[in-house]
């Protein structure tokens, strides 16, 4: 679905599940019309907005964010970075909400990347046993993936996203202007989730990203973002379609975890400091492709196309970890059932299968092949500098 907005036709993509129906709107300058949009979401219902964001996002974008508000909303800050995606942050924010007088008519506005979105959604799910919230994702990764589908939660030391709930937003407003201030590495990391969407579900999107890489990767302010907006919309359509068919990840939705089993293990092995989420998923996707190749589930030609596209949207930073350590960490993955790993393997561009019989030796071999490729493909020294999303 598309609507005319500010003289242009913009995508408005519905997400329809048994428990919630809402739209994802993708356009520029959405921030400047935010308050009237919130009123339309809540006709006749009182709401008091509370913004949860990071200091760096607020410093860049507070002026357009507040442009349509007659009274400034209450703003609560959470530092950037995966290390803050913890229960302690949720408790701190909940206490601040209570002190500020938030009640069941309050509306939380998640203004930031995936960490902000996940924490705000979880907080909305549990504060006073559930209040409303809206996603306003500021990173490409959040716009194409984490803001959609109602997954919320935080990490434990034992693993990623082990505490959480399903709680859908009232709406997602993906303002493409926000992408203009993204660091190139963050843009490329987000595009890895779009590549994933093409691999698992949408061969047309995959081909578009093959043929239009230069236009998609234009990051300077004022550059023509038509190609990037096309990728965002196509990626959102994939996520919306999958979530609408399988809200609680009982079947089809598991394909969205392609690359994430080893990807999450890479993040854990590097203490969530060396790689952005999309970068870790990219290496994890290559490991999964190696499993599919070893099983002859996919042709060498198609696997090579997928690997080349993943690397084309790099550079992907190297990291230090052994295959044995990474595979051991997959035992903590929340997708495991009854101690058995569920693994998403591509069978062709746009098609996947879910298998539950991947053995530890074949996973170690596939991961080792990925590590060998990493060492041959990257010449930069392994970074120990903290990176945040």
Active-site residue set: 129, 151, 193, 239, 249, 253, 257, 260, 264, 277
Residue 87: CB atoms within 10 Å: 14
Phi-psi region of 109 (alpha: psi -120 to 50; beta: other; left: phi over 0): beta
> How far lies 202's CA from each of 14, 161, 172, in Å?
18, 26, 22
Q: Measuring CA to CA, how many Å separate 148 from each of 24, 134, 238?
A: 8, 11, 11
Distance (Å, rounded) from C-alpha 260 to C-alpha 220?
Answer: 30
**How is residue 289 written in tokens?**
């492709």
Q: Go through 171-180 and write b for each residue having 16 or more CB atoms within 10 A of its CB, e for each that does not.
A: bbbbbbbbbe
Contact at 8 Å (CB) between 266 and 326? yes
The answer for residues whose C-beta is within 8 angstroms of residue 328's C-beta and 6 or more apart is none
Residue 193: in which H helix or E strand, if any? helix 184-200
Half-sphere exposure of 185 (CA within 13 A, CB side): 12
Nearest to 373 by CA among 301, 271, 285: 285
CA distance 184 to 377: 19
R_g (Cα) of the chain, nearest Å? 20
């Amino acid at each position: 679905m598309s609507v005319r907005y500010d003289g242009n036709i913009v995508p408005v993509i519905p997400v329809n599940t048994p428990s919630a129906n809402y739209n994802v709107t993708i356009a520029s300058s959405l921030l400047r019309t935010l308050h009237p949009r919130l009123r339309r979401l809540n006709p006749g219902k009182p709401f008091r907005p509370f913004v949860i964001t990071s200091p760096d996002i607020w410093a860049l974008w507070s002026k357009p964010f507040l442009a349509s508000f007659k009274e400034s909303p209450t703003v609560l800050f959470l530092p950037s970075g995966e290390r803050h995606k913890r229960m302690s942050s949720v408790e701190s924010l909940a206490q601040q909400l209570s002190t500020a007088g938030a009640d069941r008519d309050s509306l939380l506005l998640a203004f930031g990347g995936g960490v902000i979105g996940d924490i705000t959604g979880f907080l909305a799910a549990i504060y006073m046993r559930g209040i409303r919230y809206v996603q306003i994702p500021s990173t490409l990764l959040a716009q194409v993936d984490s803001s959609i589908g109602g997954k919320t939660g935080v990490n434990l030391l034992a693993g990623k996203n082990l505490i959480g709930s399903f709680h859908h937003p009232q709406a997602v407003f993906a303002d493409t202007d926000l992408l203009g201030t993204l660091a190139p590495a963050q843009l490329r990391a987000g595009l890895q989730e779009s590549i994933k969407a093409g691999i698992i579900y949408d061969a047309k999107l995959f081909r578009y990203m093959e043929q239009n890489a230069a236009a998609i990767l234009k990051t300077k302010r004022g550059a023509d973002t038509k190609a990037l907006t096309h990728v965002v919309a196509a990626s959102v359509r994939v996520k919306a379609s999958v979530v609408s068919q399988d809200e609680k990840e009982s079947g089809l939705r598991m394909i969205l975890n392609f690359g994430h089993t080893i990807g999450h293990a890479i993040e854990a092995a590097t203490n969530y400091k060396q790689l952005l989420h999309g970068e870790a998923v990219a290496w994890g996707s290559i490991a999964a492709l190696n499993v599919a190749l070893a099983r002859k589930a996919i042709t060498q030609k198609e696997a090579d196309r997928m690997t080349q596209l993943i690397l084309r949207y790099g550079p992907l930073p190297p990291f230090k970890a052994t295959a044995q350590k990474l595979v051991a960490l997959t035992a903590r993955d929340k997708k495991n059932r009854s101690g058995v790993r569920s693994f998403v393997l591509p069978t062709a561009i746009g098609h996947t299968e879910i298998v539950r019989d991947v053995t530890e030796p074949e996973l170690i071999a596939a991961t080792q092949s990925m590590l060998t490729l990493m060492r041959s493909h990257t010449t930069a020294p392994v970074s120990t500098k903290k990176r945040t999303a």
